[in-house]
Amino acid sequence: MKRNYKKTIWLGMVILIIAFTWIKWDIWFYNPPEPKYSPSPSPARIMLTWSDNPLSSRDVTWEGDTSTHQGFLQISDNAIPGDTILYRSNAKIIRSSGGSSTFFKVHIKDLRQGRLYHYRVSNNKIWSDWFDFKIGNSTDASYSFVYFGDVQDTINGSSGNLFHRAIESRPQSAFMIFIGDMIERPHDAYWGEWFKSGGTLFRTIPVIATPGNHEYYKSLIGTLDERWMAHFSFPQNGPENFRGRACYWDYMNTRYISIDSNGIQSLPSALEQRSWVKGVLENTRQKWIVIIMHHPPYSTSRGHNYFFLRALFKPLFDRYNVDLILSGHDHAYGRAVHIQNKLTDNKQGAAYVVAHASPKFYEIGFSDKMDKLASNTPSYQLFDVSADSIRFEAYTRNGISLDGFTIRKDASGNRTVTVHAPPNSRDLLKPTDLFLKKNSQKEIDRFNMEMEQWEKSRK
């Protein structure tokens, strides 16, 4: 009798697992076929990045069709009009199920601080327009940058409006940070949409980024779209199996560290990145430390909980006094600046920000860790970094102030945070239209009760 009972239990578990996998199959494993595409023979998707010292170098990547076997970049120093240098780039062909493209990459070195440069690129004999960029100066007391969460927009979407509004607010930005999920799925059309949204911004302001799950092909072990690595020319200073996606950049007094959170798909991959992060933090001498990673250690969305990321990395963030963690993925805004450093009783922990620039909204999870929450709107974020402070501001798609704080840190590494933010908005906390359509009144009432309790706890 007991044996039959056990068999029934095991059979029931197997049936449940099969049924659950069947329901989740498309979400976990299905990759929609990529539509056919034909790249232009003219230089396209031109982007400025860097893989070396940002005060003396730049990298430029671009794309063309497969008839192009060699690319060229011409650059001129504004101080010596008409005096140009020519760089050559070999072609790298990347094939997908929808077509093939040729990618080019040039590393420009020996640039001078404070100088304005003009450049253009060509596929065979077809030249692009001229574009400008300026090299920063190590004597500058401060600098600015902008940060965007998930873009993940539809074809002909409107996320590009956020990019341009952000740069209009900080036209002197040294660079732009994208936190992954720039595209809806790894298709040429979506890459094209992202570049279209950026317009000339990507050609004049360097881009740094960390990959998200939507840059990966789905499978038991996901693989990163080759085009991600071709578009972004980043430092090769990461762990062996994550070169060019887990990496770090130093800009002025700040170290920026990219963790490929979606690449953590097994215990070995988790330990490889953790060991690397630990080594980088141990050898960091910059005043400020900023982590960028697609999945947030502290979630803002209902039903999400990334406890494994907290277990892996938060002890390192606390031990090495990391200042700021920028994330995305959750499609709801959140900010936490009062999470304790667990290793020291009297020391303030890092500040955590989760943001997105997408038209797709998730339901808020009313975490007691979050001081600020918002859904129902995408946002853009502005940073001003100086010797003694990091000032942060967030704005909705309509340019309305959403959040703000300033971090200061003394010589002993003790942080203080001053919040300068409007009150939490009920309109940005309420359920999304999709939630109201899909859920029962009981679930809606529960959501509203959690919202009210969270609001009271923040006052």
What lies within 8 Å, CB to CB, of 68 at 6+ separation is 41, 91, 102, 123, 124
Query: What's the mean pLDDT in 310-322?
Result: 95
Fold of 165-176+198-435: Purple Acid Phosphatase; chain A, domain 2 (3.60.21)
pLDDT at 4: 63
According to DSSP, residue 248 is labeled E
Q: Do domains 44-134 and 165-176+198-435 have the same CATH topology?
A: no
CA dihedral 432→437→440→446, nearest 10 degrees, is 10
The pLDDT confidence band at residue 21, using thresholds 50, 70 and 90, is very low
Report pLDDT digits (tens) over 419-444.
999 998 899 999 999 899 999 999 99
Domain chopping of the chain, boundaries: 44-134, 165-176+198-435
3-state SS of 99-153?
Answer: EEEEEEEEEECCCCCCCEEEEEEEECCEECCCEEEECCCCCCCEEEEEEECECCC
Report pLDDT digits (tens) over 93-106.
999 999 999 999 99
Q: Is the pLDDT of residue 266 over 80?
A: yes
pLDDT at 347: 73
Q: Provide the pairing of β-strand 379-386 with 389-396.
A: antiparallel
Encoding tokens for residue 331?
Answer: 């499609």
Q: Is the pLDDT of residue 32 over 90?
A: no
Chain center to CA of 295:
9
Written as one string, the DSSP assignment of 368-392 is TT-SEEE-SS-EEEEEEEESSEEEE
Query: Of 325, 330, 424, which is closest to residue 371 (Cα–Cα)?
Result: 424
Query: What's the mean pLDDT in 63-67?
Result: 92
Report pLDDT digits (tens) over 271-295.
999 999 999 999 999 999 999 999 9
Q: Is the pLDDT of residue 43 over 80?
A: yes
The pLDDT confidence band at residue 74, using thresholds 50, 70 and 90, is very high
Encoding tokens for residue 278?
Answer: 């630990």
Q: Is the pLDDT of residue 113 over 80?
A: yes
Amino acid at 435: F
Encoding tokens for residue 220?
Answer: 């038991």
Q: Is the pLDDT of residue 26 over 60?
A: no
pLDDT at 25: 46
* CATH code of the domain occupying 44-134: 2.60.40.380
Check residue 320 and give left, alpha or beta (phi > 0: left; psi -120 to 50: alpha).
Answer: alpha
- Average pLDDT value for the chain: 90
Q: Please calculate the CA angle 133-138-139 and round it to the nearest 5 degrees.
A: 115
